[in-house]
Structure 1
Amino acid sequence: MTWKGPLAGRYPAVAAMVVAALVPYLVLSAALDPLLPIIAQQLGMSAGETRLAEGLANAGYALGTVLSVQLALHLPQRRMLSLYATILVIGSVLAAAATAPAVFIVGHVLQGLCTSLLLIAAVPPLVTGFPPGRLRPTAVILNLSIFGAVALGPLIAGIQADAHAWRPLFWVIAGIAVVALLLSLLTFQDVPPADPTSTRSPVAVALAAAGCVAAFYGASRLLPHRSLDAATLAPLLAGVALIAILMFQQYRSRHPLLILRPLASTLPVAGIVVAMSAAAASVPAIALTGIALRDRYPPLHLGLLHLPEFAGTVIAAIVFAKVFTTRALHYFALVGLLSLIAGVALIVSGVPPNTIRTLIGTGLIGIGLGASVTPALFIAGFTLRNVALQRVFAIIELLRAAAAFLVAPILLYVAATVGSTPAAGVRTALWVCLGVAAGGTLLAFALYVLGGVRPPSPSLQRWFGGEPAWDSPPLLAAVRGHSTKPQPPSAGANPPP
């Protein structure tokens, strides 16, 4: 008889496990940058080593999205989830207790890798494993766990930097990871591999590993070295090229690990554009705002100026819960991008921004982040059967992580090297953020228009019954002469997970 945890199937416990699994690293991803000088001083690390730790942890996060899908296909899923949580605890303890640079780097990389493994392993079952009535609170939990945690990062960093400390934060993170492990055991119920007969994809995993490590290694060298030499550009460009090759190879594959071909229609492509542009604009914009103000305010004051960002994500999560089962979901994602544009524009209009402009701007960025990326996940996910949600999340999180964590160091490098003054460099980089957000908005809107799409309402009954929640017309259907009348998906359009 298979062992079952005493809280197996209990929605509150499973939801709490997801929150505890995601929050630790996502908070650190936004809080770490202001703490790097303190960590470097206390551990005897160079600036290059601290940036390498950050870059490789982000590479681990991106790689984990692909690796998690591969492991879920062939190994018992809940056993793997508990293993991921165990390794997350080990990595968190190593990072918190580190007395040498190598130990800290290994621990932090494990945190990044295991967080995305847990995200892809735990979130889709929370969405599809409970009745449709649970979907609304799940949407709020997902939004706040990912983007609320990111939004709290600057405030938490300010508190720690004001105390000239970093270990208390890392020990709290380790404690939350322990909670995630305990809850994974208490809610355990054995789940078989998703599809043990599926073809293994070592090429896809190898491309993802090589591409992520190379790209993020190259990006991690930008700020410490402040020169675009071959040692920086070669791995950065090679890594980006390998990730692009991965996408092409998976699109062309007859037995893909990442199901890209079924996503190559109007609605999911628009959703991916929204997610990538919002991530690529918001993450560097938040970091650049902190750089513009760090010489004017002490760390705690600066952290408090970012508090409206968290309030914005809370507002976005509440509104999202109201609209995501209606056609307003599509308009909500557009509103999110427009809010992001408004927030960045307000900050770039006066660098360094004053207190009022900063409070309003960060609040608008928080609304924009929370109101754009999660809706984009569901816009893409509703296009396929719910059993494919794990693989849809993996694709979007891989692309979102690459967009956010690669663009941010590039724009921080621009801010540090372009312009006659630091403020001029920050202003230039913020203008790039604004251009990315505006370009993504225009492209997503154009995809709807050129696809002849009238935003549909998702049919949850149909989606939970095993069919797509809506039908998405081909790309550019309105101008290529294709019928935009919804067509049932072909038998092979949604391969089993």
Structure 2
Amino acid sequence: MRQGPLAGRYPAVAAMVTLALIPYLALSAALDPLVPIITEQLHMTTQAMALSSGLGNAAYAVGTVLAVQFAQHLPQRRMLLLYAVVLVIGSVIAAAAPNATAFIAGHVLQGLATSMLLIAAAPPLTIGFPRDKLRNTAVIMNMCVFGAVALGPFLGGVQAEAHAWRPLFWIVAAVALAALVLAALTFDDAPPADPEAPRDLKAIGLATVGCTAAFVGAAQLSTHEISDFAVTAPMFGGLALIVALIVYQFRAHRPLLTIRTMLTSAIPVAGVGVALFAAAASIAATTLTAAVFMQHFSPVQVGLLYLPELGGAIVMAVVFGVVISRRAMHFLPLVGMGLLAAGIAVFRASLPANVPLALVGSALTGLALGATVAPALFVAGFSLRSNSLQRVFAIIELLRAVAAFMVAPIFAHLATRYSGDLLEGTNVALWVGFALAIGGAMFGVAVYALSGARPQTPDLDEFLDGDSPAWYSPPLLARLRGLPPAPPAIAAQPSTPPVAHRHPSHAAGPILFAYDGSDLARYAITQAAQQLSPYRDAVVVCVWQPVDVGFAPSDNRPFDADCAGEVRRAAEQTAAHGATLARAAGFESCSLAIEAAPTWKGIVDAADQHDAGLIVLGPHRRSGLFGHLQGSVAAAVLSHTTIPVLLVPQPSGDREPAAPPIRQKAGVASAR
């Protein structure tokens, strides 16, 4: 399996995800004060600028569905690299745009690539590392989405104060390029998730046409009345197609999205509902109040008024990281909806130009956003098996994009058209946002109560293993339907890893074979047997990770790479097969499967645990530019251990010993 030099390094992977998601999300929140400057310099109309935002948001929504489909049939990490390339290209086109057409095209590519990066990169960061990293992942995910959005108005205000827009766009392009570099450095090749899955062109078509029509219709509100056919036809027609997508996926035998599972289970419905209410209500607390403040303050001063949102988002991201492994996680979205309602009320009192109240309202809104959408997303995700996480992220981001990005122009239209007074219209819209915040909290509580759901401490080990959800979620409205509660699952006891037996006559420690199921690893065992004394004790180690896997199964049997339990069992079988080969070569061997990232760390730790006297590796040759950029497991082992290492090179004249083709359902390939 091809690897970059930083493959499996959590800080590098987390940095890559952060840099990949921030550019577009921050830019979207920074655009409002830049609209007059961009339209003037690119000779765009206000309608064209609204269309650019609408198409970019539609591309973001559609990208979630496309990314799930591509993950089924195409190598996932290679696609992640492609998405990062598209993000860089889109950012460069937008920054250098000579006209409106180029600007719109670049912005659309940015939105499309960002959502695809989110679906491709975020679930592996969540389930592809041990449990102790999950808290950090929760903080990072919260900050990626809402920290970037909270920072946007300040960045836009600073740039607008200079009466320019291209420098900010070039900075975004530079950040996207840094994300691409990290994507290459952390590359860890993984095959498709399920090559036998159907190609659901109908779902992709419904999502594409529905989202595009709905967002284009909403964008028309900048120059049309809400009753105009140019608005109502595409907007409501697009929403109807999105509803048709949900119904179609609910009834599909092998759906692309896990709609049926989510809509029939209580806790996921509550989580998704709260996230949608929060996304819609928060628009009133930011976009509309900013329009009023712009009448009294400069763009940079308005940006400073919203800077406390970033502080609130940071604080709540840390809180989320603390409670993610506790029962209190269920209550965090409820607290967030209360904070959101309070923030909207304070913002309303701050109009038209009360700075202290505006700062308090901004801080409350930041706390609220950090406590609602991302926690609600994980509450829904924990209610399903971890191998569904990618689809869960896709569904929630699709629906959240519809709720947030479509509500914004509708609210703005209401504020500007109501009685012809922006301040009065904004006050009315804020009351609507306040009602949405309260309604979202009541919705979540009602679903829990009517379904018999109860806050539970998540079993993160079971969830990350992929064997079961983190907690039990009863059927939707189970109490009303008279359904009995299901008995709680009994957690499986962890098995004790085997420890190598050392024969009394053997003074030296056992030989540790790093075995990934490839023909080169088999060749290393047979060649080592010719060089070493027979009847030595040996430990055959197969290192694995969910999602990226890291080995080729011994029996070529397909398995789900997103399910850690299935990957672990396949790794155990592969290690056992390697031990059989070692015994046939004359070693007294046992097998061991270790979950570790990066791979070299699992090898070194196993060698230290078993007091190995020698480590045997079969390093793969590399060629080409990408080969030079890739890291070497053998080199990393050599630099991190004091135990002697025997490297068995590939046979001369061959790139690698021939291996039979592997027909697989999920990420399995020979380690490189």
Give the TM-score taking structure 2 as reference length: 0.72
> CA-to-partner distance for each residue in 1:329-355, whole Å, 9 max, x for gaps?
011111011000100011123532511
> Is 1:63 the counterpart of 2:24 in the alignment?
no
Which residue in the other structure is 2:135 paired with?
Answer: 136
In the aligned structure 1, how far is the partner of 2:166 from the partner of 2:442? Answer: 44
In the aligned structure 2, how far is the partner of 1:139 from the partner of 1:452? Answer: 27
In the aligned structure 2, how far is the partner of 1:265 from the partner of 1:7? Answer: 39
> Is 1:261 the counterpart of 2:260 in the alignment?
yes
Contact 1:222–1:409 (8 Å) recurs in 2: yes
Which residue in the other structure is 1:9 paired with?
Answer: 8
In the aligned structure 2, how far is the partner of 1:225 from the partner of 1:108? Answer: 23
Higher strand share: 2
Contact 2:249–2:259 (8 Å) recurs in 1: yes
Q: CA deviation at 1:485?
A: 4.0
Which residue in the other structure is 1:457 paired with?
Answer: 457
Contact 1:351–1:426 (8 Å) recurs in 2: no
> CA-to-partner distance for each residue in 1:230-274, whole Å, 9 max, x for gaps?
011100000111001100110011110001111121100000011
1:120-199 mapped onto 2 (5 Å cutoff)? 120-199=119-198
Contact 1:472–1:486 (8 Å) recurs in 2: no
Which residue in the other structure is 1:329 paired with?
Answer: 329
In the aligned structure 1, how far is the partner of 2:487 from the partner of 2:378? Answer: 19
Which residue in the other structure is 1:312 paired with?
Answer: 312
Contact 2:349–2:357 (8 Å) recurs in 1: no
Which residue in the other structure is 2:484 paired with?
Answer: 483
Which residue in the other structure is 2:344 paired with?
Answer: 344
Tell me which moved more, 181-190 or 420-429.
Answer: 420-429
Which residue in the other structure is 1:390 paired with?
Answer: 390
In the aligned structure 1, how far is the partner of 2:349 from the partner of 2:476? Answer: 37
Contact 2:350–2:358 (8 Å) recurs in 1: no
Partner AA of 1:343 in structure 2: G
Which residue in the other structure is 1:112 paired with?
Answer: 111
In the aligned structure 2, how far is the partner of 1:41 from the partner of 1:356? Answer: 34
Which residue in the other structure is 2:367 paired with?
Answer: 367
Which residue in the other structure is 1:417 paired with?
Answer: 417
Percent sequence identity is: 54
Number of residue-to-residue matches in the alignment: 492
Look up the SS of the partner of 2:31 in the other structure. helix
Higher helix share: 1
Q: CA deviation at 1:488?
A: 5.7
In the aligned structure 2, how far is the partner of 1:468 from the partner of 1:255? Answer: 20
Contact 1:151–1:309 (8 Å) recurs in 2: yes
Q: CA deviation at 1:479?
A: 2.4
Q: CA deviation at 1:428?
A: 1.1
Q: CA deviation at 1:227?
A: 5.0
Give the TM-score taking structure 1 as reference length: 0.97
Contact 2:460–2:470 (8 Å) recurs in 1: yes
> Is 1:32 the counterpart of 2:31 in the alignment?
yes
In the aligned structure 1, how far is the partner of 2:66 from the partner of 2:406? Answer: 20
In the aligned structure 2, how far is the partner of 1:487 from the partner of 1:407? Answer: 40
> CA-to-partner distance for each residue in 1:286-316, whole Å, 9 max, x for gaps?
0011011111111111110001111110010
In the aligned structure 2, how far is the partner of 1:281 from the partner of 1:322? Answer: 26
Partner AA of 2:422 in structure 1: P
Contact 2:296–2:353 (8 Å) recurs in 1: no
Gaps of 5+ in 2: 491-561, 564-664, 667-672
Partner AA of 2:459 in structure 1: S
In the aligned structure 1, how far is the partner of 2:2 from the partner of 2:478? Answer: 51
Partner AA of 1:216 in structure 2: F
Gaps of 5+ in 1: none
Contact 1:305–1:358 (8 Å) recurs in 2: yes
In the aligned structure 1, how far is the partner of 2:230 from the partner of 2:224? Answer: 10
In the aligned structure 2, how far is the partner of 1:385 from the partner of 1:104? Answer: 41
1:233-244 mapped onto 2 (5 Å cutoff)? 233-244=232-243
Look up the SS of the partner of 1:203 in the other structure. helix
> CA-to-partner distance for each residue in 1:62-91, whole Å, 9 max, x for gaps?
000101000000100000000010011000
> Is 1:290 the counterpart of 2:290 in the alignment?
yes
- Give the RMSD, CA atoms, in angstroms: 1.5
Q: CA deviation at 1:358?
A: 0.5
In the aligned structure 2, how far is the partner of 1:226 from the partner of 1:197? Answer: 48
Look up the SS of the partner of 1:196 in the other structure. coil
Look up the SS of the partner of 1:325 in the other structure. coil
Could you say if the C-alpha distance between residues 350 and 306 of structure 1 is closer, same or farther in structure 2, counting changes exceeding 3 Å? closer
In the aligned structure 2, how far is the partner of 1:350 from the partner of 1:31? Answer: 22
> Is 1:354 the counterpart of 2:354 in the alignment?
yes
Q: CA deviation at 1:484?
A: 2.7
> CA-to-partner distance for each residue in 1:433-455, whole Å, 9 max, x for gaps?
11111111111111111112221
Partner AA of 1:474 in structure 2: P
Contact 1:330–1:379 (8 Å) recurs in 2: yes
> Is 1:271 the counterpart of 2:244 in the alignment?
no
Partner AA of 1:126 in structure 2: L
Which residue in the other structure is 1:468 paired with?
Answer: 469
Q: CA deviation at 1:171?
A: 0.2
Could you say if the C-alpha distance between residues 78 and 40 of structure 1 is closer, same or farther in structure 2, counting changes exceeding 3 Å? same
Look up the SS of the partner of 1:232 in the other structure. helix
Look up the SS of the partner of 1:228 in the other structure. coil
Partner AA of 1:409 in structure 2: P
Which residue in the other structure is 1:209 paired with?
Answer: 208
Contact 1:207–1:246 (8 Å) recurs in 2: yes
In the aligned structure 1, how far is the partner of 2:388 from the partner of 2:478? Answer: 24
* Larger RCO, structures 1/2 (Cα 8 Å, 6+ apart): 1
> CA-to-partner distance for each residue in 1:20-45, whole Å, 9 max, x for gaps?
10000000111112211110000000
Which residue in the other structure is 1:20 paired with?
Answer: 19
Which residue in the other structure is 1:43 paired with?
Answer: 42
Tell me which moved more, 27-36 or 95-104.
Answer: 27-36
Look up the SS of the partner of 1:418 in the other structure. helix
Look up the SS of the partner of 2:3 in the other structure. coil
Tell me which moved more, 349-358 or 15-24.
Answer: 349-358
